[in-house]
């Protein structure tokens, strides 16, 4: 879809939202610019850097044919922008398409991206200012053709939801877990619960994009996903569903046939749902 810009919305309760406008604008005239309106900008993620006091945005940057396969970086003094675009790169010298960033409890941030024609994921730490990648890199889920990574952490264990590679069509999500963010990662199976079998095998007709924790409710998260409309990508929508970590895993490891010690990750289908009335956004 042509670049319009990155929009921002704010909320105090995750129910009522305020449109903060376009925080990173498209380039109208310079056709060589990454953000020219004919190019592709997807999956923007923003993290705050305590060392610099800056909000740093990472995003997938591509051309209309998806041959550039890079990440872009932008910075701002405020989450509501405006963001200054710094440029793009192929992290660690590899192609990068679907991507996300994850900020750990110790303040170290990581970039996770699909690479090698989406046949594997790469993960590595960012520099202290979050403006570049360090040379450290791990190749994970090699040969498994997973994309759309969404990471979160619970009680010292790292979890990740990924999608298969079927273009704009939905497919089966998988949950993964690791004791170290750099791996090794183990696959735990399809986390989707509810609806009919086709609904679960298509991740409720959506694709993972982010997982946000709910402070004050241990083991509870919101699974955020894109519901793509291939006929009109600009009219694609979002699916937000409750994600719970808890209970025994229902699938053994692929190679040693033992069951993991980690609890199950479950994404529950609801046509409509609300957060508990006692929950509030923490300052």
Q: pLDDT tens digits for 32-71?
A: 999 999 999 999 999 999 999 999 999 999 999 999 999 9
Q: What is the pLDDT of residue 246?
A: 87
The ranges of the chain annotated as CATH 2.115.10.20 are 1-143, 146-283
Residue 114 has pLDDT above 90, yes or no: yes
Higher pLDDT: 253 or 261? It is: 261
Q: What is the mean pLDDT of the chain?
A: 92
pTM over 0.75: yes
Q: What is the pLDDT of residue 226?
A: 97
Contact between residue 42 and residue 59 where contact means Cβ atoms under 8 Å apart: yes
If you search the block for the tokens 């041959």, which residue do you land on?
A: 67
Angstrom distance (rounded) from CA 280 to CA 277:
8
The SS3 call for residue 121 is strand
Q: What is the pLDDT of residue 233?
A: 87
Averaged pLDDT for residues 220-239: 94
DSSP 176-227: EEESSTTS--EEEE--EESS-HHHHHTTTT-EEEEEEE-TTSTTEEEEEEEE
Fold of the 146-283 domain: Tachylectin-2; Chain A (2.115.10)
Residue 141 has pLDDT above 60, yes or no: yes
What's the CATH superfamily of 1-143? Answer: Glycosyl hydrolase domain; family 43 (2.115.10.20)
Averaged pLDDT for residues 148-173: 96
């Amino acid at each position: 879809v042509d670049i319009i810009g990155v929009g921002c919305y704010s909320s105090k309760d995750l129910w009522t939202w305020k449109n903060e406008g376009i925080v990173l604008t498209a380039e109208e005239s310079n056709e060589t610019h990454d953000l020219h309106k004919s190019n592709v900008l997807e999956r923007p993620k923003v993290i705050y850097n305590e060392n610099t006091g800056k909000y740093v945005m990472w995003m997938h940057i591509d051309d209309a044919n998806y041959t550039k396969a890079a990440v872009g970086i932008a910075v701002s003094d405020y989450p509501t922008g405006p963001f200054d675009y710094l440029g793009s790169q192929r992290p660690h010298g590899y192609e990068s398409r679907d991507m996300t960033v994850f900020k750990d409890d110790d303040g170290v941030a990581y970039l996770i991206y699909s690479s090698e024609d989406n046949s594997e994921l790469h993960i590595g730490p960012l520099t202290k200012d979050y403006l570049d990648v360090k040379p450290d890199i791990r190749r994970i889920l090699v040969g498994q053709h997973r994309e759309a990574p969404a990471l979160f952490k619970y009680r010292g264990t790292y979890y990740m939801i990924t999608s298969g590679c079927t273009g704009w069509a939905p497919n089966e999500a998988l949950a993964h877990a690791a004791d170290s963010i750099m791996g090794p990662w183990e696959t735990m199976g399809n986390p989707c619960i509810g609806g009919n079998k086709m609904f679960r095998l298509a991740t409720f007709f959506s694709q993972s994009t982010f997982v946000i924790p709910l402070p004050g409710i241990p083991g509870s998260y919101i699974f955020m996903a894109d519901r793509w409309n291939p006929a009109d990508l600009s009219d694609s929508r979002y699916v937000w569903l409750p994600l719970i970590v808890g209970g025994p895993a229902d699938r053994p490891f692929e190679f040693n046939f033992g069951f993991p010690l980690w609890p199950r990750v479950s994404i529950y289908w609801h046509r409509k749902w609300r957060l508990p009335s006692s929950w509030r956004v923490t300052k």
